[in-house]
Amino acid sequence: MTMQMSRRGKEYLETAQSLLRAARTMTDIVVATRLEMLANDYQRRAEKASSVDAARSSARSAGTRYESYP
């Protein structure tokens, strides 16, 4: 199932893409690797944010309250 990316998820994804672009220009492999790791973290955040936002939206349309638990 393909999920629509939320606005918050898109912002995280844009940040991840910017970090990956910066990592590609780095000559220092340690800095490049850290930027790639951070980009991966932001991609996971994008997916999670979109899932949470979709659940909240569904709960609102169903008239229930959505609680986000870690």
Residue 39 forms part of a structural domain: yes
Please tell me the distance from the alpha carbon of residue 30 to that of residue 44, in angstroms, as a whole number. 21
Residues of the chain with pLDDT > 70: what percent? Answer: 77
Q: How many CB atoms lie within 10 A of CB 42?
A: 21
Residue 62 forms part of a structural domain: no
* Structural domain total, the chain: 1
The model's pLDDT over 13-34, given as tens digits with 9 standing for 90+, comes to: 999 999 999 999 999 999 999 9
Range of the domain at 37: 8-55
Residue 20 forms part of a structural domain: yes
| pTM of the predicted model over 0.95 | no
What angle do the packed helices 7-25 and 29-62 form, to 10 degrees?
170
Query: E-strand spans in 16-70?
Result: none
* For residue 66, pLDDT beyond 90: no
The model's pLDDT over 36-47, given as tens digits with 9 standing for 90+, comes to: 999 999 999 988
> Higher pLDDT residue, 42 or 55?
42
Predicted local confidence at residue 1, as pLDDT = 42
